[in-house]
Amino acid sequence: MSIKKSGATIIFFILISVGYANDGYKLWLQYLPFENKAVSDYYRDYLENISISGESPTLDIIQKELIIASKGFFDQQVLPEFSKTTDSNLTWIIRSEDLPEEIKGKLGTKLSEVKEEGYWLKSYQGKIIITAKTDIGLLYGTFAFLKAIQTREKLENLDRLENPKIQKRLLNHWDNLNRTVERGYAGFSIWNWHRLPNHIDQQYIDYARANASIGINGTSIFNVNSNALILTPEYLEKAKALADAFRPYGIKIYLTARFNAPMILDSLPTADPQDPAVQVWWKKKTKEIYSYIPDFGGFLVKADSEGQPGPHNYGRTQADGANMLADAVRPFGGIVMWRAFVYNEKTPTDRIRQAYDEFKPLDGTFRDNVIVQVKNGPLDFQPREPFHPLFGAMPKTPLMMEFQITKEYLGQETHWVNLATMWREILQSDTYAKGKGSTVSKVIDGSLHGYKLTGIAGVANIGTDRNWTGHQTAQADWYAFGKLAWNPDANIDEIAEDWLKMTFSNDVDFVATSKEIMLRSHEILVNYMTPLGLHHIMARSHHWGPGPWVTGGGREDWTATYYHKASEEGIGFDRTEKGSNALAQYAPEWKKTWGDADKIPLEYLLWFHRVSWDKKLSTGNNLWTEMALRYQKGVEGARWMQSQWAKMEGKIDQERYEHISSFFKIQVSEAEWWRDSCLLYFQQFSKMTLPPGVEKPKHDLKYYLNFKRNFVPGI
Amino acid sequence: MSIKKSGATIIFFILISVGYANDGYKLWLQYLPFENKAVSDYYRDYLENISISGESPTLDIIQKELIIASKGFFDQQVLPEFSKTTDSNLTWIIRSEDLPEEIKGKLGTKLSEVKEEGYWLKSYQGKIIITAKTDIGLLYGTFAFLKAIQTREKLENLDRLENPKIQKRLLNHWDNLNRTVERGYAGFSIWNWHRLPNHIDQQYIDYARANASIGINGTSIFNVNSNALILTPEYLEKAKALADAFRPYGIKIYLTARFNAPMILDSLPTADPQDPAVQVWWKKKTKEIYSYIPDFGGFLVKADSEGQPGPHNYGRTQADGANMLADAVRPFGGIVMWRAFVYNEKTPTDRIRQAYDEFKPLDGTFRDNVIVQVKNGPLDFQPREPFHPLFGAMPKTPLMMEFQITKEYLGQETHWVNLATMWREILQSDTYAKGKGSTVSKVIDGSLHGYKLTGIAGVANIGTDRNWTGHQTAQADWYAFGKLAWNPDANIDEIAEDWLKMTFSNDVDFVATSKEIMLRSHEILVNYMTPLGLHHIMARSHHWGPGPWVTGGGREDWTATYYHKASEEGIGFDRTEKGSNALAQYAPEWKKTWGDADKIPLEYLLWFHRVSWDKKLSTGNNLWTEMALRYQKGVEGARWMQSQWAKMEGKIDQERYEHISSFFKIQVSEAEWWRDSCLLYFQQFSKMTLPPGVEKPKHDLKYYLNFKRNFVPGI
């Protein structure tokens, strides 16, 4: 990359960029032009002359990113000059071991607090020093430096030392070989297998840049409903090409392992994890994978779940299965991420009990390079669930969090809902495993139980859409996932604010208004979809739109009626000791509040209790009235978001403004669809009228029951 | 759209834009920054102050396009000012009827030569006048004006009066409702049905802009292998949303009609076109469509072909089917495009005879709002075919051309092959229908037979890929299709040159080198895939890669062996009077050359003749040697293209340079794959050794026979 210095000394800032087309491809790495000369002059000092010590592909990437950023900030009028020496430059990017001894001394022992992937941004005698133990740390530090500029931080007193709190920070792509994406709503898979390995698309590089900028250090590129073909040389060669492209960004490749691959690929008679031939097969296969990808991260496995083969087929435990694979990757330093989302082929009394019942007894029986990957809640990525009871219940087995960034049950890609709000609710939930304050975040960062291995995974919401994520604002969920993966206790207010500034504008009004939309969006969605603890009342299979009437079919626990159990007597799933007693999977402290239908926070009421329609609630309303009012409130919330957004016109580029505006049309009309159809359906049982303030449904129930959905994406 | 004037009087041109990321999304509408101040100053006079007379959505689009262009040309430093009056402005955009009388007088009778969609760019007393009868003509004129600037034409003596030679200039999208694209290799369908009608994506607008810029005025948005669902209100509402978006760009929507839709949608017992209830059904359905889309263009129909239902099912003719639909759309001014790609369920002696045998006898029996859509050759979009014998054979029935812009049989999306070269070969072929000079172009522009209705369709190569077309250079095929649709006798050299300048750079070396690659590319591909008239020897079904060994299966005429008939005695399909006599479908003049295996141009030899391996050819080589040398020449040609392209580094942006470079890796290796596997396969029959100069195959035949293709795109 050739580096030129601008000869221009006079710079004109003409704000005609505003209103110019912006499809959102650049994500939060927009590096939008500075808003005036004063701001530009201030940061120019730090960007014009930069010292980067050393040489490596990662350091090249750092240099390139600084060029891209400068081109953006200065509207192509200023380019940084780079030098290897530190003399006279205001910004230094330098490994801590290479710092001049004098400075090392002055920085003191704090320097040793910078760990493997950490960094330190330190203002020092008028300079900014970005230092780290590793080049990846320097890359993270550079992105932090650029973020400080993007969000208009003052640099003089910068003193930011950061280490990731979680080791394995992964995206999980549920991408199929035909490029469809299971639960993908942003088009199709960005992985173009047909063109790999020869063609490395710029989008793969930009994917790696984006992930590195938020600290993600691993990616599992295939669907967990896996195809054994990915373990053949044809696809390993393609995976290797991606691994090579991602390596300098600090991102490792993981593969999903289909449990019966030995049978499919090499006609072994069994996939029994205790069968020596099967064990040998996996060891050989693993060795082969490492011959392609020397730093292969390991396997991600969905077994004994939704038709996937697994150790149950041979009467073995989940630990038997996981340990076999763990033994295969151990010599190479790999790990196994074994999903806890296991459930029997027979419909149980209460599906949400299963993972706990299956895994809890296995605590302590897994190899130390196995980590069990647990969804945030015990059911399946609902708009609201209590935290998964396994968190806190497996002190001897590392557990990692699985969040779903893609919005399977949350209106898919056209609803603006800020997932960080929901994730915080989970992460800050108290497991009481070691007394008060034993939050889920402390379980997964390893501090509560002293896990040696820690991890977090987000099911990606990335596709071929020009803006990556369908909704422009769904980029915020990808961003927030990275930030919470780095630090699960991070402040989601700040995350939202930073994202807005980096992605759209530093305009004060814009940031304030949009942040309020973001922070209120989750509760609004819960209200118009599943208020009061309702769950799994989406349409069958694709889960798009309401389907409280879904009943019958292959499995009862794939229906809505199984979960809401509405009748004239009442509604809700009794999970107290009088019912399935799933509540007992939680610490006793929770029984006190959640176990009592009069004390439980209303947002979990119907999750844990079955109550009558006329039950009087703490709000003063009876259940039916409260439900109807909450649905109405959700619709009004969606309309409020839409009207707030309408005020943003002109504050950002027109293309993204309009993109979001038109999605609001969909969101508001779907919110109404949810309210009208759910209330009409439940009204059959409550036999009560809609309370004042709740709008009359647009159609009758029959209309909603007969509404045909064709070609819904994501399945 | 607010219009601001730049306050800047000093402009700096810093060429750091070169090397900045460019994903190709802007197509040939890049409006790249002027290369120096002199060029900038020259065009600035014409772009700074522009008069646009009148008001309409199309005139708004013109204004917006001029802003986009100026932002690009002047690197965001200059914006045009617009006025409604013509005083003092150097550029006028004005309907001819609105021209001042004085100027009308001076422009004279030539003004009346400007037809409905035509325009006149006229330098007049130091001004540029862009005038037209209609606003769409003005839009086309504006794009012509911008092209003149993009290609650095001098404007002083501009005098360009253009009318399209063909009326209906359409793209045909073979896009399915699940967003897969049949024979689509650039990702998936850009039509996001799920989000329509509420969300009109910017990409739809940019699609319309691009098409308008090359004069395309219609688009058929669904696959010809159609789904009756598209005729239901759910999808008509979505189609209407697109029609509304495209209307101001002069682009009409057409729909594909599934022939048995009355049975599928309304349970009619038959779809017999002579059945009154069926006729009434289509009339009602058509009326309904027009209630959504008042300027609906009409139907495109694939019937009685590859499993599609059609009039044959009821013992009716293609004319019976087409006329029924024609009667339905006639009251609204619609047309029916009835595809000639009909073939029986039984394998015939020679499949290429069928369309002619079926349609020729029907000449004169179609309604006057029917146009028969004929593929360029009698088989199916092969790398080289002679022109379709129906051209020239249907004087009383309008025929339109169907080209395939997507590269089903041409290596799909990773081979650089300039299709305009192939299309010119067809368009300039002489049908001899009315004596020498009766070219195919004169058939389809209507001049030969006096057709009242004329048309041309291109099967789109557009998908979700960030550059629209997979290969950056496949944009040139979309561009050239538009240009040849406007004027089928247009100079393809100029088309290539203009496209290169508009898309990449005006650099003289770059344009010369790249143009040579483009103009040689088709012959190179024919050599490494199907030299000497070979055809349909691609792999089964997806048609990617070689498959000369494909034999057996459901239909003989879907195999390779049916077409090449290789044995120890020789190779080729005898289509002379000793064989299928398909040759007799052409004018007698062709029999003289094509009928004689010693006189026929070698590129058609095996298309029309079966000859022995040792037959001596005009080149002095025997058939086997010539075949082997041509395969080798094709591979060398691909390598030559690659090495020429390597010289272009630094002349254009790095992203597109590298994108094309990496596709060359694929193209060269696939050229070798074609050569090696075809020669090894045919060598079994020729029993001769490879001549000197032909490289030894990399693998043995068994390797190629067993090569597994997984998840090939486009089916």
| Whether B194 and A713 lie within 8 Å, measured CB to CB | yes
The catalytic position among A135, A380, A425, A465 is A380
- In CATH terms, the superfamily for domain A168-503 is Glycosidases (3.20.20.80)
Q: Which CATH class name applies to B168-502?
A: alpha beta
The catalytic position among B402, B408, B498, B603 is B408
The pLDDT of residue A77 is 85
How far away is chain A from the Cα of B466, in angstroms, using its nearest Cα? Answer: 7
Contact present, B488 and B165 (Cβ < 8 Å): yes
Catalytic residue flag (residue A380): yes
Contact present, B413 and B462 (Cβ < 8 Å): no
As a whole number of angstroms, the distance between CA A422 and CA A404 comes to 11
Confidence of residue A711 (pLDDT cuts 50, 70, 90): very high
Catalytic residue flag (residue A327): no
**Strand-by-strand arrangement of the B91-95 sheet:** B81-83, B49-52, B91-95, B127-132, B119-124, B159-162
Measure the CA angle with vertex A577, ends A574 and A581; round to 5°. Answer: 70
Segments of chain A assigned to CATH 3.20.20.80: 168-503
Closest by CA position to B150, among listed B46, B229, B251: B46
Judging by beta carbons within 10 Å of its beta carbon (0-12, 13-18, 19+), is residue B96 exposed, middle or buried? buried
Contact present, B167 and B485 (Cβ < 8 Å): no
In A475-576, beta strands by DSSP E: none
Contact present, B119 and B144 (Cβ < 8 Å): yes
- 3-state class of A254 per DSSP? strand
| Whether B199 and A666 lie within 8 Å, measured CB to CB | yes
DSSP code for B368: T
How far away is chain A from the Cα of B666, in angstroms, using its nearest Cα? Answer: 6
> Which of A30, A65, A67, A76 to mutate against chain B (most B CBs within 10 Å)?
A76
Using an 8 Å CB-CB cutoff, list chain A residues near B195: 414, 663, 666
How far away is chain A from the Cα of B322, in angstroms, using its nearest Cα? Answer: 29
**Strand-by-strand arrangement of the A159-162 sheet:** A81-83, A49-52, A91-95, A127-132, A119-124, A159-162
User: Which helix or strand (DSSP H or E) is residue A236 part of?
Assistant: helix A233-246
> Which of A71, A204, A234, A464 to mutate against chain B (most B CBs within 10 Å)?
A464
Confidence of residue A296 (pLDDT cuts 50, 70, 90): very high
Query: Could you read off the pLDDT of A298-325 as tens digits, one per residue?
Result: 999 999 998 899 999 999 999 999 999 9
Distance in Å from the first CA to the final CA of chain B: 42
Amino acid at B389: P
Using an 8 Å CB-CB cutoff, list chain A residues near B666: 195, 198-199
List Cα–Cα distances, B538 to A380, A418, B412, B682, in angstroms.
46, 50, 11, 14
As a whole number of angstroms, the distance between CA A374 and CA A485 comes to 15
Angle, helices A623-646 vs A508-529, to 10°: value is 150
Distance in Å from the first CA to the final CA of chain A: 42
- Look at phi and psi of residue B201 and say left if phi exceeds 0, alpha if psi is from -120 to 50, else beta: beta
Find the CB nearest A20 among B23, B71, B655. B71
Query: Could you read off the pLDDT of A120-159 as tens digits, one per residue?
Result: 999 999 999 999 999 999 999 999 999 999 999 999 999 9
Catalytic residue flag (residue B569): no
* Residue labelled with tokens 């129930």: A701
As a whole number of angstroms, the distance between CA A46 and CA A55 comes to 21
Q: Radius of gyration over alpha carbons of chain A, in Å?
A: 26
Q: Give the chain A residue nearest B8 (alpha carbons).
A: A12
Other Cβ atoms within 10 Å of A105 Cβ, number = 10
Query: Could you read off the pLDDT of A606-624 as tens digits, one per residue?
Result: 999 999 999 999 999 999 9
Q: Which residues contact B280 (CB under 8 A, 6 or more apart)?
A: none
The pLDDT of residue A18 is 35
As a whole number of angstroms, the distance between CA A92 and CA A86 comes to 6
Q: Which residues contact B554 (CB under 8 A, 6 or more apart)?
A: none
DSSP code for B571: B
Find the CB nearest B14 among A76, A202, A659. A76
Closest by CA position to A506, among listed A186, A153, A246: A153
Encoded tokens for A551 = 């009943």
Segments of chain A assigned to CATH 3.30.379.10: 15-162
Q: Give the chain A residue nearest B657 (alpha carbons).
A: A202
Q: Which of A265-269, A348-352, A635-639, B208-212 has the lowest mean pLDDT?
A: A348-352
Contact present, B139 and B95 (Cβ < 8 Å): no
Find the CB nearest B666 among A10, A21, A195. A195
As a whole number of angstroms, the distance between CA A331 and CA A705 comes to 56
- 3-state class of B709 per DSSP? coil
The pLDDT of residue A715 is 86
> Which of A9, A31, A195, A706 to mutate against chain B (most B CBs within 10 Å)?
A195
| DSSP, residue by residue, B681-692 | HHHHHH--PPPT
Which residue positions in chain B have pLDDT lower than 50?
1-19
Q: Return the exposure string of A383-416: e unless at least 16 CB atoms fall within 10 Å of the residue's CB, then b.
A: bbbbbbbbbbbbeebbbbbbbbbbbbbbbbbbbb
The catalytic position among B55, B97, B98, B306 is B306
The pLDDT of residue A2 is 31
Q: Which residues contact B431 (CB under 8 A, 6 or more apart)?
A: B387, B391, B392, B393, B438, B439, B440, B443, B448, B586, B587
Judging by beta carbons within 10 Å of its beta carbon (0-12, 13-18, 19+), is residue A646 exposed, middle or buried? exposed
| Whether B6 and A21 lie within 8 Å, measured CB to CB | no
Encoded tokens for B627 = 């075949």
- 3-state class of A402 per DSSP? strand
Residue A4 has pLDDT above 80, yes or no: no
As a whole number of angstroms, the distance between CA B226 and CA B259 comes to 9
Residue A44 has pLDDT above 80, yes or no: yes
How high is the mean pLDDT of chain A? 95
Using an 8 Å CB-CB cutoff, list chain A residues near B192: 187
The pLDDT of residue B20 is 52
Q: Which residues contact B211 (CB under 8 A, 6 or more apart)?
A: B171, B217, B219, B249, B251, B482
Segments of chain B assigned to CATH 3.90.1330.10: 526-573+610-706
- 3-state class of B599 per DSSP? coil
Q: Give the chain A residue nearest B470 (alpha carbons).
A: A195
| Whether B710 and A17 lie within 8 Å, measured CB to CB | no
Amino acid at B238: K
Segments of chain B assigned to CATH 3.20.20.80: 168-502
As a whole number of angstroms, the distance between CA B675 and CA B695 comes to 9
Q: Return the exposure string of B98-122: e unless at least 16 CB atoms fall within 10 Å of the residue's CB, then b.
A: ebeeebeeebeeebeebeebbbbbb
Q: Which residues contact B154 (CB under 8 A, 6 or more apart)?
A: none
Q: Return the exposure string of A258-297: e unless at least 16 CB atoms fall within 10 Å of the residue's CB, then b.
A: bbbbbbbeeebeebbbebeebbebbbebbeebbebbeebb
DSSP code for A615: P
Write the CATH number of the domain with boundaries B15-162.
Answer: 3.30.379.10
The catalytic position among A408, A413, A425, A523 is A408
The answer regarding whether domain B526-573+610-706 maps to CATH 3.90.1330.10 reads: yes
The pLDDT of residue A347 is 73
Closest by CA position to B459, among listed B140, B225, B711: B225
How far away is chain A from the Cα of B426, in angstroms, using its nearest Cα? Answer: 31
Average pLDDT estimate for A457-471: 98
List Cα–Cα distances, A467 to A655, B204, B527, in angstroms.
11, 15, 41
Query: Could you read off the pLDDT of A402-417 as tens digits, one per residue?
Result: 999 999 999 999 999 9
The pLDDT of residue A561 is 98
Other Cβ atoms within 10 Å of B531 Cβ, number = 25
Using an 8 Å CB-CB cutoff, list chain B residues near A638: none
Average pLDDT estimate for A426-451: 98
The pLDDT of residue A20 is 52
